[in-house]
Structure 1
């Protein structure tokens, strides 16, 4: 019994370290292509190297790190192509979750899901006064709820993983004029299609809502690099 408790505490410790390091990786506290110093990171977190290495191994599988044999772990790159690819995969998954939500969700589930974004829309502040980080968080929660009511756990998990990888860019994306001017209206249209269970219309709207042009991907990447290297808010 004692051994089981000890093992449980050890697993809990590894999970906490993983979540902390993942949080750092999400926001690029490790600069693109930077080698992660396991000793320094362990000291920073006040833990041994073992849970840190386990966390880095998991993050490598998750796409946040690149492992180079005999050299160590390196932070993920930041390129326009990489940003655009994330959005393209997310678009395909969200189109699928929307389709299944229309087919499988109850009216009550749809009503609860749409309420997440409608509450924001009803108290919409002036553009310059908006907390876009908070808006991005609610936007993510709204889309994850559509995935939940699609009743496909694997799609839900895939979208959750993609959201973590793209969260840094999602905040920046919503702050750009081309996105923020359309964010609310696009959500209203998606909600209407979901309520009507209009799959064809909703799938098209999601493509319009999520897809990035090559030019916009470059803008998001430039802004991201400015924040990482120069601390631009």
Structure 2
């Protein structure tokens, strides 16, 4: 019994360390391609290197780190190709979750889901600060995750949750750009209408238009992301 308790505490410790390092990785506190100093992390988080190493291994499996044998862990890269690929995969998954939500969700579930974004749409056109756009990005993510939840496919939900973590840094930047600001509200209104009408085919097309990222825009998002990482631009 004692061993079981120790094992449980150890697993809990790794989970906490994992979440702390993951939050740093999401926001690129480790610069792209930077080698992660395990000793510094151990000191910073006040834990031994064992949970640090286990957490980094998990983060490597989840795409937040790159492991190089005999050299250690390195922060994920930031490139236009990588950003675009994340958006492409997310688009495919969200098209699937929309389809299943239309087929499986109750009217009540759809009403609760659409209400998440409608609270934001009432303030369309208002001038917003960077902090407010960050909050809107969170609501946007919550709205799309709720569509995934009511699709009643746990695998798709977990995949989308993982992709959201990997792309959260870019997503916020993307939503702050003028082209996205101008289109985000109208696109959400159309997606909500299609969901209420359970119009699968229209919704799938709308999701592609809403999520897809052109090669040119991926370059812009990447440049802005690098500026924020290296020179602290906000």
Query: Is 2:148 aligned against 1:144?
Result: no
CA–CA distance in 1 between the matches of 2:89 and 2:117? 23
**SS in structure 2 at match of 1:155:** helix
Equivalent in the alignment of 1:2? 2
**SS in structure 1 at match of 2:66:** strand
Quote the offset at 1:179 in angstroms: 0.4
Task: Report how many residues are paired.
Answer: 233
Quote the offset at 1:126 in angstroms: 1.2
Q: Which sections of structure 2, spanning at least 5 residues, go unmatched?
A: none
**SS in structure 1 at match of 2:115:** helix
Relative to structure 1, the CA distance from residue 63 to residue 107 in structure 2 (aligned partners, 3 Å threshold; closer, same or farther) is same
Per-residue CA deviations over 1:80-117 (Å, capped at 9, x if unaligned) read 00000000000000000000000000001000100000
Equivalent in the alignment of 1:189? 190
Query: Is 2:69 aligned against 1:69?
Result: yes
CA–CA distance in 2 between the matches of 1:190 and 1:122? 16
Query: How do 1:109-188 residues align onto structure 2 when only pairs under 5 Å count?
Result: 109-124=109-124, 126-129=126-129, 131-188=132-189
**SS in structure 1 at match of 2:9:** helix
Query: How do 1:32-71 residues align onto structure 2 when only pairs under 5 Å count?
Result: 32-71=32-71
Quote the offset at 1:129 in angstroms: 4.4
Task: Kindly report the root-mean-square deviation, in angstroms, between the aligned alpha carbons of the 2 structures.
Answer: 1.0
Equivalent in the alignment of 1:206? 207
Quote the offset at 1:5 in angstroms: 1.8
Quote the offset at 1:125 in angstroms: 5.9
Per-residue CA deviations over 1:128-184 (Å, capped at 9, x if unaligned) read 447110000000000000000000000000000000000000000000001011111
Equivalent in the alignment of 1:81? 81
Equivalent in the alignment of 2:219? 218
CA–CA distance in 2 between the matches of 1:104 and 1:46? 47
**SS in structure 2 at match of 1:127:** coil
Quote the offset at 1:219 in angstroms: 0.2
Q: TM-score, normalised by structure 1?
A: 0.98
CA–CA distance in 1 between the matches of 2:108 and 2:123? 23
